[in-house]
């Protein structure tokens, strides 16, 4: 994974305390937690008072009420502090999710493809949830528990310091054992989250090919493959669970050892009168109270390790470089006399596999330019290079007189309307789909006019809620309708250059004719580049470029190419044959 060293990594502290309100909430949570801890610490001392007072024959009402108050205060304080922290944690997660999603949408298409959509989804759902534990435990509970342990030991030392040494010794031995376990927890959580990512990716990929799987009656085979991935998740999760399940018993063992040692040596000290009964009672209560924060420290460290492993996976996404903006130089002035698009000896390879070689051609400012050629020749790749989804490995592409690398992405993509071969629809209303990329809303009359132009108005009006129908789940469009939606979107843009990849592949001849008229109208004052297999769509183009094996073999008008290019003649002959 190529990473960007200048990237802003997730900083839990900063992310958690963004804004004054967050800092106030955090302060309140800390104060409430401190109050709860202090009240909890005071309780045994007050119990000691109750016992002393009773043995002196005095009243126990006041100290008993105080014991109750301390217990109540401790409970209420820790509940309120827990809730405040949960809110802060959720706020932080909300911001982190937004940030990671926004970053992912700005990554180059090839990066997203190689990461996998499912894996990305797993990161902002399951990894982000694990990260939440860092807030709960790492930021307050852990330090507070450590503080509680320290204070408790201090108070215990005032009662009997020798017994404190016995206690601390037992817990230190348990602590060393737990530290070893924690190292493994972080590693196995990272493995577990990676396996979850792979499973999510596989499941997403299978769902998006669902019709193909069903058509081949391959559901069981697909389910078995997914089952293997689920088993991999189970194996890694079990490894993590095995390690985590050791933490509490090891700490429990430490407590048992401490309890036995303290009771034994305490008994001797009681007999030797170095220790009084109320002090011993209070000491034992403190010892029991020590278990809770000690356990919080041990299990909290486990969750912290898991959260940190998750944070690393989110940071990996944030470290991926976004699509870069070109450095706009003063020399890069747009010349009016230049062609709209110039390919100058362009080479390109997908993952080291060469696809374009020395590809050179020119697209004039106005008029219809067609790219034709056999399947896999590199036509779609050329269009993708114009909108800078990828970069040429050699040569240059100039758009409106300026090297494509020198445009800012905003400027470049604002000037180009690109309709790819997928005719992607977003899950959203028809209106939302048409409005894509536009900040000012279109009024209904412009939307209906455009839908009429591409011959889609009746189909949209027939949908249950017209323009407000949500597309993508229960209401979908046919291939040809999608194609016309994509065209409508391009018509609504005010781009100077329009790139169409196979815009008529799924249209009937009536719609194809209608579309040709639309293209001609557009080409009167804009640059229109169209990739098409069907020569009927493009043979009237002003300029045709023949691409074969990643290079331009000929260019000119239909007539000129018939004379010059044997491959073009072959293409025409084969289609005449097919249609005749
Ligand atoms: N994302 C990708 N990763 C790797 N190789 C790719 C990718 N997209 C296309 N290719 C390869 O690049 C070559 C050119 O593909 P391209 O899509 O540009 O062809 P095309 O001329 O548009 O073909 P068609 O007419 O079938 O749409 C093909 O050999 C294809 O296998
Ligand atoms: Mg293509």
Ramachandran quadrant class, 188 (left: phi over 0; alpha: psi -120 to 50; beta: rest): alpha
| Nearest alpha carbon, ligand 1 atom 8 | 381
Answer yes or no: is 146 within a domain: yes
pLDDT band for position 448 (50/70/90)?
very high
Is residue 77 within 8 A of residue 32, CB to CB? The reply is: yes
379 alpha carbon – ligand 1 mean position (Å): 8
Residues 373, 253 within the same domain: no
Residues 355, 307 within the same domain: no
Please give the average per-residue pLDDT across 487-492, as a whole number. Answer: 88
Atom number in ligand 1 closest to CA 379: 21
Both tokens assigned to 342: 């110039």
Is the predicted pLDDT of residue 89 greater than 70, yes or no? yes
Residues 59, 161 within the same domain: yes
Please give the average per-residue pLDDT across 516-522, as a whole number. Answer: 86
Answer yes or no: is 332 within a domain: no
Give the span between the Cα atoms of 343 and 395, in whole angstroms.
8
Is residue 466 within 8 A of residue 430, CB to CB? The reply is: yes
Closest ligand to C-alpha of residue 420 is 2
Q: What is the CATH number of the domain that holds 216?
A: 1.20.1560.10
Name which of 220-229, 328-337, 492-501 the model is least confident about: 328-337
**What mean pLDDT is reported for the chain?**
86
Task: Give the number of domains in the chain.
Answer: 2
Nearest Cα to Cα of residue 372 among 573, 580, 537: 537
Ligand 1 pocket list (CB less than 6 A): 350, 355, 375-381, 421
Q: Give pLDDT tens digits for 55-85.
A: 888 888 887 888 888 889 889 988 898 888 8
Among 379, 384, 387, 500, the mutation site with the greatest number of ligand 1 atoms within 8 A of its Cβ is 379
Answer yes or no: is 232 within a domain: yes
pLDDT band for position 303 (50/70/90)?
confident
Is residue 430 within 8 A of residue 460, CB to CB? The reply is: yes
Among 114, 376, 499, the mutation site with the greatest number of ligand 1 atoms within 8 A of its Cβ is 376
Is residue 292 within 8 A of residue 37, CB to CB? The reply is: no
Residues 289, 410 within the same domain: no
pLDDT for 580 equals: 39
395 alpha carbon – ligand 2 mean position (Å): 21
Both tokens assigned to 229: 């991935």
Q: Give pLDDT tens digits for 233-271.
A: 999 999 988 988 888 888 888 888 888 988 998 888 888
499 alpha carbon – ligand 1 mean position (Å): 17
State which residues form the domain around 205.
Answer: 12-318
Closest ligand to C-alpha of residue 371 is 1
Is the predicted pLDDT of residue 327 greater than 80, yes or no? no
501 alpha carbon – ligand 2 mean position (Å): 7
Please give the average per-residue pLDDT across 531-540, as a whole number. Answer: 82
402 alpha carbon – ligand 1 mean position (Å): 26
350 alpha carbon – ligand 1 mean position (Å): 9
Is the predicted pLDDT of residue 133 greater than 60, yes or no? yes
Residues 29, 166 within the same domain: yes
pLDDT for 270 equals: 86
Is the predicted pLDDT of residue 1 greater than 80, yes or no? no
- State what percent of residues in the chain have pLDDT above 90: 33
Give the span between the Cα atoms of 138 and 485, in whole angstroms.
50
Atom number in ligand 1 closest to CA 550: 14
Residues 351, 255 within the same domain: no
Atom number in ligand 1 closest to CA 373: 21
Please list all protein residues whose beta carbon sits less than 5 angstroms from ligand 2, which is an ion: 380
Residues 224, 351 within the same domain: no
pLDDT for 579 equals: 46
pLDDT band for position 99 (50/70/90)?
very high
Answer yes or no: is 325 within a domain: no
| Nearest alpha carbon, ligand 1 atom 19 | 376
Residues 353, 419 within the same domain: yes
Cross-strand pairs, 347: 394
Is residue 285 within 8 A of residue 49, CB to CB? The reply is: no
Instruction: Please give the residue that has the higher pLDDT: either 537 or 220.
Output: 220
| Nearest alpha carbon, ligand 1 atom 18 | 378
Residues 132, 269 within the same domain: yes
Is the predicted pLDDT of residue 17 greater than 60, yes or no? yes
354 alpha carbon – ligand 1 mean position (Å): 11
Give the span between the Cα atoms of 260 and 489, in whole angstroms.
78
Give the span between the Cα atoms of 431 and 221, in whole angstroms.
40
Is residue 324 within 8 A of residue 338, CB to CB? The reply is: no
Q: Give pLDDT tens digits for 380-428.
A: 999 999 999 999 999 999 999 889 988 888 889 989 999 888 777 888 8
Residues 378, 463 within the same domain: yes
Answer yes or no: is 327 within a domain: no
Residues whose CB falls within 8 Å of the CB of residue 107, separated by 6 or more in sequence, listed in order: 115, 320, 321, 322, 323
Give the span between the Cα atoms of 333 and 328, in whole angstroms.
9
504 alpha carbon – ligand 2 mean position (Å): 13
Is the predicted pLDDT of residue 92 greater than 60, yes or no? yes
Asked which of 286, 318, 350 is the last residue of a domain, the reply is: 318
pLDDT band for position 182 (50/70/90)?
confident
Please give the average per-residue pLDDT across 496-520, as a whole number. Answer: 84
Please give the average per-residue pLDDT across 310-324, as a whole number. Answer: 91
Atom number in ligand 1 closest to CA 113: 1
pLDDT for 196 equals: 94
Both tokens assigned to 382: 């050329």
Among 347, 348, 357, 378, the mutation site with the greatest number of ligand 1 atoms within 8 A of its Cβ is 378
Answer yes or no: is 410 within a domain: yes
Instruction: Please give the residue that has the higher pLDDT: either 121 or 578.
Output: 121
Q: Give pLDDT tens digits for 342-367.
A: 999 999 999 889 999 999 999 999 88
Answer yes or no: is 326 within a domain: no
Answer yes or no: is 334 within a domain: no
Give the span between the Cα atoms of 455 and 462, in whole angstroms.
13
* Residue keyed to tokens 């002003």: 542
Handedness of CA 59, 63, 66, 67 (dihedral sign): negative
Please give the average per-residue pLDDT across 146-156, as a whole number. Answer: 86
Inter-axis angle of helices 20-56 and 142-159, nearest 10: 20
């Amino acid at each position: 994974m190529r990473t960007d060293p200048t990237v802003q990594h997730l900083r839990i502290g900063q992310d958690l305390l963004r804004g004054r309100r967050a800092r106030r909430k955090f302060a309140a949570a800390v104060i409430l937690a401190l109050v709860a801890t202090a009240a909890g610490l005071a309780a045994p001392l007050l119990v000691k008072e109750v016992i002393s007072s009773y043995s002196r024959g005095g009243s126990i009402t006041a100290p008993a009420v105080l014991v109750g108050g301390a217990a109540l205060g401790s409970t209420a304080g820790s509940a309120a502090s827990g809730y405040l922290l949960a809110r802060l944690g959720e706020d932080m997660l909300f911001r982190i999710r937004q940030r990671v999603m926004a970053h992912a949408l700005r990554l180059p298409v090839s990066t997203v493809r190689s990461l996998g959509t499912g894996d990305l989804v797993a990161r902002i759902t399951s990894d982000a949830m694990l990260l939440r534990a860092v807030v709960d435990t790492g930021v307050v509970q852990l330090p507070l528990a450590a503080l509680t342990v320290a204070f408790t030991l201090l108070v215990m030392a005032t009662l009997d310091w020798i017994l404190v040494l016995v206690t601390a010794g037992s817990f230190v031995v348990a602590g060393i054992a737990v530290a070893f376990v924690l190292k493994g927890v972080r590693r196995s959580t990272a493995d577990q989250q990676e396996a979850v990512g792979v499973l999510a990716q596989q499941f997403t990929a299978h769902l998006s090919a669902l019709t193909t799987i069903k058509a081949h009656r391959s559901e069981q085979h697909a389910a078995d493959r997914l089952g293997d991935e689920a088993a991999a998740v189970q194996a890694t999760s079990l490894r993590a669970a095995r390690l985590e399940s050791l933490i509490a018993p090891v700490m429990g063992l430490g407590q048992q050892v401490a309890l036995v040692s303290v009771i034994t040596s305490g008994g001797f000290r009681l007999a030797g009168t170095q220790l009084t009964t109320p002090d011993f009672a209070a000491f034992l209560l403190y010892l029991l109270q020590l278990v809770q924060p000690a356990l919080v420290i041990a299990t909290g460290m486990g969750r912290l390790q898991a959260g940190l492993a998750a944070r690393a996976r989110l940071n990996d996404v944030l470290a991926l470089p976004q699509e870069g903006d070109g450095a706009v130089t003063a020399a890069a002035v747009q010349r009016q006399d230049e062609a709209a698009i110039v390919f100058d000896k362009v080479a390109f390879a997908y993952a080291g596999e060469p696809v374009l070689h020395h590809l050179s051609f020119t697209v004039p400012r106005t008029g219809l330019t067609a790219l034709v050629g056999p399947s896999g020749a590199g036509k779609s790749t050329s269009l993708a290079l114009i909108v800078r989804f990828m970069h040429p490995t050699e040569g240059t592409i100039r758009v409106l007189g300026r090297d494509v690398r020198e445009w800012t992405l905003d400027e470049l993509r604002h000037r180009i309307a690109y309709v790819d071969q997928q005719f992607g629809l977003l899950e959203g209303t028809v209106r939302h789909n048409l409005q894509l990329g536009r900040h000012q809303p279109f009024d209904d009359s412009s939307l209906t006019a455009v839908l009429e132009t591409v011959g889609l108005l009746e189909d949209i009006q027939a949908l249950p809620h017209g323009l407000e129908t949500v597309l993508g789940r229960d209401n979908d469009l046919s291939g040809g309708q999608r194609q016309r939606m994509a065209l409508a979107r391009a018509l609504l843009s005010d781009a100077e250059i329009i790139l169409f990849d196979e815009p008529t592949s799924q249209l009937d001849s009536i719609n194809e004719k209608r579309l040709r008229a639309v293209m001609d109208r557009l080409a009167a004052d804009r640059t229109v580049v169209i990739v098409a297999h069907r020569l009927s769509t493009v043979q009237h183009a002003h300029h045709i470029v023949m691409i074969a094996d990643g290079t331009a073999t000929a260019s000119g008008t239909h007539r000129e190419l018939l004379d010059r290019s044997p491959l073009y003649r072959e293409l025409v002959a084969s289609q005449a044959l097919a249609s005749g």
